Amino acid sequence: MKVVMPMIFLSTLLRQSIYDIEGRRLGVLRDISVSLNETFPVVTALVVRSPLGNSQNDMIIPWYQVNSLEEPQIHLVVKQPQIASYTPQSDELLLKRDILDKQIVDTQGFRVVKVNDLKLAQIKKTVRLVGVDISLSGLLRRLGVLTPVETLSRVLPIQLNDRTITWNYVEPIQVVRGGATTGQLVPAFAGASASLGVSGVVPKVQLNVSQSKLADLHPADIADILEQLDVEDAGAMLERLDTETAADTLNEVEPMRQYELLSELDPERASDLLEVLPPDDAADILADLPAEEAERLLNLMPTNESQPIRDLLRYGEETAGGIMTPEVLSLSQELTVEEALVYLRQHSAHLEMIYYLYVVDSDKHLVGVVSLRELVVAEPTTRLQDLMDRDLIKVTTDTDQEEVARVISKYDLLGVPVVDSENHLVGLITVDDVIDVLHEEQAEDFSEMAGATVEELEEEEHFSWHAALSRVTWLTVNVAAGFAVAFV
């Protein structure tokens, strides 16, 4: 027989009267404390506002002295004088104060949403936070008008779909401003007393639950989430990711946002992220920064890491030199196939692509190309100069990026080598780089047709969608209220 757990919503509990075992009214429920130690947080205590309405006299009642949350009224299992003192732990938070109405990250839907209500479930004597309600129904429930609107929805085309995210797919993101910088969880309660006065409340709590939920996402999905947050919260979230994930995420963020995020980070941390990225990606980001800021970040890097980036920044942004990566493997034409394979194993781990192997002479001039397949199936003693294709496609550092894209598309290449004016191999442009170029060119073409810059179009699109979405809820509520008044 399948057991169905009755769901309890926080909005229906708040301001309910609390009674002791003798029926004496103690006050009303102000908040509920939960511990974040488990996947689905466990309720640990109730915060009760006294009949005097004075927050200084609020009581924190341990959960084991509460009978149930499933009954119409909330009763304790002890008399008022027997209420035990409760010492809040550092991993406990208050549902109303710290989660309700806050922004959270839906790590399944890759989006930032606002909590309209919280869903709890009681299994025997244990109550857990099981999900967050982000639906219009959740908001209407809190306003006390859900029932009449549901009645109207039976005769009018009003859809009240349930939109609940289970807690294991949730990542809270509110952080302390200028407070805890150690990465530790800030206590939901100040001190260990049973009083929760205004003077002892932390105004904003750092919800620093496990980052594994975010770290398991693809950097592009994390970037989508960061772009929905204000820059302060986005910077804080980026700070909490490991260096490699944070760097890859920064690289996926829109250029307009990259500088804002870097400004939120400590300069050392920002420099570390750029250092992890391939030089061409780091150069793309730094090219959009003020020159002084870019130079400051470069100076924090080791010379062997910063110099390739500086070299790339010398080229025009829309040239082959500006979009190439300098991390390209070259092999001497004097090497045998066996020697080349040994060299590959020792030096290719960090490379973006090794499908094409470029061959140079003793003066580092590009003289040919060998595919990895050709190298693997060739006789071990064959020299590369006898195996390579001398009729190779290449571009120069000053070739326009649109021409590079045309060349790669025309010859169906995975990448094209870049040479300087003296035919020295200096870099490689991959098909991924070309895709970015095509997107950029399409955006520019569209902006010309629309008579606006790319930045203006992006801002307009962002504003229009967010302005519309921010009004949907209240428009729906107003319409429903209007119908309700009409029927009265």
* pLDDT tens-place string over residues 6-43: 678 999 899 899 999 999 999 999 999 999 888 899 99
CA separation for the pair 365, 166 (Å, rounded): 60
What is the Cα–Cα distance from 318 to 429, expressed in whole angstroms? 13
* Residue 461 token pair: 């699109």
Answer whether residue 188 shows pLDDT above 90.
no
Q: Please give the Cα distance from 91 to 89 (Å, whole number).
A: 6
Average pLDDT, rounded, for the chain: 80
The pTM is what? 0.62
What is the pLDDT confidence band of residue 172, given thresholds at 50, 70 and 90?
low
The stretch 98-117 carries a mean pLDDT of 79
pLDDT on residue 194: 34
Question: Alpha-carbon distance 33 to 96, whole Å?
Answer: 9
User: Which residue, 249, 327, 261, is CA-closest to 288?
Assistant: 261
The residue ranking higher by pLDDT, 380 or 190, is 380
Nearest to 241 by CA among 313, 317, 325, 173: 173
Nearest to 306 by CA among 272, 260, 348, 352: 272
How is residue 310 written in tokens? Answer: 């500086």
Tens-digit pLDDT profile for residues 387-446 = 999 999 999 999 999 999 999 999 999 999 999 999 999 999 999 888 877 776 666 665
Which pLDDT score is estimated for 357? Answer: 94
State residue 451's pLDDT score. Answer: 54
Decide: 376 and 370 in contact? Cβ < 8 Å: no
Q: Averaging pLDDT over each range in 39-53, 236-250, 375-389, 445-459, which range is the top one?
A: 375-389
Q: Which of 285, 97, 105 is nearest to 298 (CA)?
A: 285
pLDDT category, 54, cuts 50, 70, 90? low
CB-based contact 121:128 (threshold 8 Å): yes
Residue that wins the pLDDT comparison between 488 and 326? 326
**pLDDT tens for each residue of 112-148:** 778 889 999 988 889 999 988 888 777 788 777 777 7
3-state secondary structure the chain: CCCCCCEEEHHHHCCCEEECCCCCEEEEEEEEEEECCCCCCEEEEEEEECCCCCHHHCEEEEHHHECCCCCCCEEECCCHHHCCCCCCCCCEEEHHHHHCCCEEEECCCCEEEECCEEEEEEECCEEEEEEEECCHHHHHHHHCCHHHHHHHHCCCCCCCCCCEEEHHHEEECCCCCCCCCCCCCCCCCCCCCCCCCHHHCCCCCCCCCCCHHHHCCCHHHHHHHHCCCCHHHHHHHHHHCCHHHHHHHHHHCCHHHHHHHHHHCCHHHHHHHHHHCCHHHHHHHHHCCCHHHHHHHHHCCCHHHHHHHHHHHCCCCCEHHHHCECCCCEEECCCEHHHHHHHHHHHCCCCCCCCEEEEECCCCEEEEEEEHHHHHHCCCCCEHHHHCECCCCCEECCCEHHHHHHHHHHCCCCEEEEECCCCEEEEEEEHHHHHHHHHHHHHHHHHHHHCCCHHHHHHHHHHHHHHHHHHHHHHHHHHHHHHHHHHC
pLDDT digits (tens, 9 = 90+) for 341-379: 999 999 888 787 788 999 999 999 999 999 999 999 999
pLDDT tens track for 318-330: 899 999 999 899 9
How confident is the model at residue 461, as a pLDDT? 47
pLDDT at 476: 54
pLDDT average, residue stretch 95-118: 81
Q: What is the mean pLDDT of residues 205-218?
A: 56
pLDDT (tens digit, 9 = 90+) per residue, 58-88?
A: 899 999 999 988 887 899 999 999 999 898 8
